[in-house]
Structure 1
């Protein structure tokens, strides 16, 4: 039998901060791809909003960089309005990402 001398501090689990990890471009890329692969609209919108937050890009800055209205961006990223493809592509561009497609295996 193994005897471990562990204190309560040794057993503490640190809180996972998703936004801290999304500051990394590669992590943000994979996070968004996972959301896109899910096909779930809400997950995709949540991913876009979380990436913007993680990168410190507020609605005003996103509006400036995309050339889109702050109000319409807010409605889109809060899920209160459907996202247009042109809006989606402009937001991706701000994140230095682009949309690609891949062939899905037939089941």
Structure 2
């Protein structure tokens, strides 16, 4: 019997291997509307691409990126826009429809 301690840790970043997968992942986080979840999703997508590369492409320091996306982070909107662009993603607006 395999112990849960010996099971590999699941990391969504390991599966975000295409622009479409990264876009879908971020779209799901935005759909939820939870700020903490959006911050975590940004971090997951950044890790999938490599934090150093994303930080450089966004014009941010690596440590600043980790701080902004950490559990107590609160990235400014301009930082979110820079990160999205560096990750090959863009924000768009859709009308709210009755479900």
Q: Which entry has the higher C-alpha Rg, 1 or 2?
A: 1
Deviations 1:47-102 (CA, angstroms, capped at 9, x unpaired): 111111112x12x3333211123333221110323111110000000111111111
- Higher fraction of helix: 2
| Cα root mean square deviation, aligned | 2.0
Are the counterparts in 1 of residues 54 and 87 from structure 2 also a CA contact under 8 Å? no
* TM-score normalised per structure 2: 0.78
The match for 1:76 is 68
Over 3 Å off, 4+ runs: none
Distance 2:68 2:44 in 1: 13
Aligned residues: 91
Gaps of 5+ in 2: 1-8
2:30 to 29, 36, 40: 36
The match for 1:88 is 80
